[in-house]
Structure 1
Amino acid sequence: MNILLAVLTSAIAVGGTLIGSWSTYLFQRRTAERAEAVNREERLRQERLAAFSTYAAAVTELKRGLITLWFRRRRALRDQDTREELQAAQLDSDRLGAAAEAAAFRLRLVADDPGLRPLMTAISTHLGAISHAADRQAVIAIEARFEEAVTAFIDAAAARVQ
């Protein structure tokens, strides 16, 4: 009878140990899964934040390049700029345009949000209007509307990464 009691006690002890180990494993696994989900969300938030800021910086640089090109074209018409300077401004604008387009593609990949598309379209519209500006006052007015559109974009983007 003592042997049976010893075996039963040992079996209960082993069973308790196994149940304790199994429950610890399950709790640790759940904790690790939750931590991974939080890390994944934080990485996505960081990616979105980087994409938003990269896009805003790229379109702002493109605006600068387009305004420079606009002034160089006006000076070239009055023979105040050399052809090389005009070509350099054109190449710079093309490079900046490609960078802005790449930033927009990346933004759509990591944060494709239908609510941001009209804001991005407004930014593009103002950028496109720069080359058609009739005079310096028109460029200044377009630049002001561009800045308003970028501010609206940044405000909307900030709400999405908080």
Structure 2
Amino acid sequence: MEVVLAAAIAVVGTLMGSVITYLLQVRTAEHGERRRNREQLRQERLTAFCAVVDALHSVRRAEHDRWRHEQESPEGAEAIEARERSIELRPAAWSALTRLHLLVDEPELVRSAQRAYRSVRAIHWAQDEDDLHDRDRASRAALDAFLSAAAVYMREAMTG
């Protein structure tokens, strides 16, 4: 009888050990998957932030060129080309803003990026050289504000 009891205890212990091992492996796998998902989202957000900044800097340069060429010769070939270039770059900026909006759950950060876009777009409406410099400073400040907000968001996401 003792032998049967010892064997039964050994079988139950082995089964319990197997179940516990299985549960620990499932938990470890789920934890690893959550970490991978968080890291992937972090990378996608970082890429989205960089895409917004790159697109807005491109639009900013194009708006400067557009303004300069339109001041020299409003209907000249260079002015028309610069205008077309600034128009061509807008969809890339909107695409970057849309991706950011989809990936970020912080409305103020999205609004900051939108403010930067509007300030960059306003450059070519400058009335004169002084106004151009003011609009350029405002666009740089808006871009810097967005970058600062994005950096805070990323740091909080890493610690939270």
Normalised TM-score (structure 1) = 0.88
Deviates more, 1:26-35 or 1:119-128: 119-128
Note the residue ranges of structure 2 that are not aligned, 5 or more in a row: 156-160
CA distance in 2, matches of 1:12, 1:140: 84
The answer on 1:64 being equivalent to 2:61 is yes
**Is the contact made by 2:55 and 2:96 (CA closer than 8 Å) also made in structure 1?**
yes
The residue that corresponds to 1:151 in the other structure is: 144
Deviates more, 1:7-16 or 1:67-76: 7-16
Q: Secondary structure at the match of 1:48?
A: helix
RMSD of aligned alpha carbons: 1.6
The residue that corresponds to 2:109 in the other structure is: 116
Q: Which amino acid aligns with 1:34?
A: H
Aligned-residue offset at 1:152: 0.7
Normalised TM-score (structure 2) = 0.89
Q: Which amino acid aligns with 2:25?
A: Q
Q: 1:112 to 1:75 in 2, by over 3 A?
A: farther
Structure 1 runs of 4+ with >3 Å offset: none
Aligned-residue offset at 1:160: 0.9
Aligned-residue offset at 1:8: 2.2
CA distance in 2, matches of 1:40, 1:91: 40
The residue that corresponds to 2:72 in the other structure is: 75
Aligned-residue offset at 1:128: 3.1
CA distance in 2, matches of 1:42, 1:128: 33
**Is the contact made by 2:60 and 2:121 (CA closer than 8 Å) also made in structure 1?**
no
The residue that corresponds to 2:82 in the other structure is: 89
Q: Cα deviations across residues 39-63 of structure 1 (Å, max 9, x unaligned)? A: 2111111111111111011111101
The residue that corresponds to 1:52 in the other structure is: 49
The residue that corresponds to 1:22 in the other structure is: 19
The residue that corresponds to 2:93 in the other structure is: 100
Aligned-residue offset at 1:86: 2.5
Matches within 5 A, 1:132-147: 132-147=125-140
Matches within 5 A, 1:34-45: 34-45=31-42
The residue that corresponds to 2:158 in the other structure is: none
CA distance in 2, matches of 1:29, 1:117: 37
Aligned-residue offset at 1:118: 3.2
CA distance in 2, matches of 1:6, 1:149: 80
